[in-house]
């Protein structure tokens, strides 16, 4: 059933909807008919009973292998989907509950069991909605990025932001940004301006969807914060004053919720960005003058801290890493010269 339902729509794109639906209907009717035929044919004592012992053993081996493959794929599909969408974990609990109720009902209550199963199926959207509500309320449900300290920048530097893997969008800053607000923006005003810019990106770039992208930008928030200073150089005394930073939070939640800063002026690649964008994150030298180094949001200087949206327990999602992955985008270091092998 699963591949049938999954792949039925594939035909629609190719040839229109009608052939796919017709084929799907035909498949169901014929499968049912063949099932009825087989029930009659393979009953004990008829066709199945006449099979020789050798064929019985080989068939049994083949069937064990087929069952194992199908069970493994079904189980892996369940695992993959519950990991990717943690809100669906409750559905498995619902399944166990239905099994428990059905087991507890006395024999012969077939209709009652069927009613329980149908009620359970109707409860699936509710369980999913509750799970989603729970996910949305989780700690660190939304992905965010905390900038490096704002040390003060000149006009027309550019901030390049990627939210939920949509982007990058370059946001030019048209005035000074000073930690004390002496000229141009102070950090709080800058946060307001950046938030407005992100909302505008959502409206302009994704008016017709994807809804996730529009939500990510249109509901994004930017907050100005102050953090204790970090002593980065040993040859000068540590500053006492707290350092201003800003935090960009995605408008969506869950493990796909993520905010990144990248080097501005990236070429638009129709193939999309690569798996590991660390090298793209680091601005080439020609951007050092006009890039976004002053905001501390590229890999070239102080780096930024990224917190991905929590993915609940994320117990088995090795590709996404542990929940709420916090990582420090490392400052650029000169490439290491490959060492010669010792002879």
Please give the residues from 37 up to 66 whose contact with another protein meets the rule CB under 8 A: 37-52, 54-66
Render 34-80 in DSSP notation, one character per residue.
HHHHHHHHSSTTTTGGGS-HHHHHHHHHHHHHHHHHHHHHHHHHHHH
Q: Spell out, one character per residue from 189 to 228, where the chain touches another protein: x when CB under 8 A holds, - when not.
A: --------------------xxxx--x-------------
Cβ atoms of residues 250 and 163 within 8 Å? yes
Which 86-145 positions form the footprint of another protein (CB under 8 A)? 87-88, 91-92, 95-96, 98-105, 107, 113-114, 116-118, 120-122, 124-125, 127-129, 131-132, 135-136
Q: Spell out, one character per residue from 149 to 188, where the chain touches another protein: x when CB under 8 A holds, - when not.
A: ----------------------------------------
Instruction: Give the closest residue to 187 by CA, choosing from 239, 241, 137.
Output: 241
Instruction: Give the closest residue to 150 by CA, choosing from 291, 246, 288.
Output: 246
Cβ atoms of residues 174 and 190 within 8 Å? no
Distances (CA, A) of 190 to 18, 157, 187, 196: 54, 13, 5, 10
Which 290-329 positions form the footprint of another protein (CB under 8 A)? 316-320
* Smallest gap from residue 1 Cβ to another protein (A): 6
Nearer to another protein, 117 or 158 (CB): 117
19: its two tokens = 């052939």
Which 230-289 positions form the footprint of another protein (CB under 8 A)? 252-256, 275
Among 1, 139, 182, 234, binds another protein (CB under 8 A): 1
Among 26, 196, 204, 227, binds another protein (CB under 8 A): 26
């Amino acid at each position: 059933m699963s591949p049938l339902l999954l792949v039925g729509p594939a035909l629609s794109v190719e040839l229109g909807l009608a052939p796919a639906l017709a084929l799907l209907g035909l498949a169901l009717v014929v499968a049912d008919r063949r099932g009825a035929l087989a029930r009659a044919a393979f009953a004990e004592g008829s066709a199945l009973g006449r099979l020789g012992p050798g064929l019985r053993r080989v068939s049994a081996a083949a069937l064990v292998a087929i069952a194992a493959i199908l069970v493994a794929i079904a189980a892996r599909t369940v695992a993959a989907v519950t990991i990717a969408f943690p809100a669906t974990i409750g559905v498995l609990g619902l399944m166990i509950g239905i099994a428990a109720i059905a087991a507890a009902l006395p024999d012969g209550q077939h209709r009652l069991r069927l009613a329980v199963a149908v009620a359970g199926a109707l409860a699936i959207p509710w369980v999913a909605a509750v799970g989603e509500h729970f996910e949305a309320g989780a700690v660190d449900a939304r992905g965010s990025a905390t900038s490096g300290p704002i040390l003060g920048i000149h006009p027309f530097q550019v901030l390049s932001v990627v939210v939920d893997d949509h982007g990058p969008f370059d946001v030019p800053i048209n005035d000074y940004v000073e930690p004390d607000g002496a000229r141009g923006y102070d950090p709080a005003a800058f946060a307001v301006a950046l938030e407005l810019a992100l909302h505008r990106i959502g409206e302009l770039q994704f008016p017709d969807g994807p809804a996730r992208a529009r939500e990510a930008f249109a509901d994004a928030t930017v907050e100005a914060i102050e953090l204790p200073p970090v002593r980065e150089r040993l040859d000068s005394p540590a500053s006492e004053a707290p350092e201003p930073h800003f935090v960009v939070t995605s408008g969506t939640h869950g493990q796909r919720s993520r905010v990144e800063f990248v080097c501005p002026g990236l070429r638009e690649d129709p193939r999309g960005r690569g798996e590991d964008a660390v090298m793209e994150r680091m601005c080439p030298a020609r951007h050092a003058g006009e890039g976004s180094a002053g905001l501390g949001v590229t890999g070239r200087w102080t780096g930024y801290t990224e917190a991905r949206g929590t993915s609940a327990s994320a117990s088995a999602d090795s590709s996404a890493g542990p929940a709420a992955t916090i990582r420090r985008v490392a400052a650029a270091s000169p490439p290491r010269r490959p060492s010669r092998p010792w002879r």
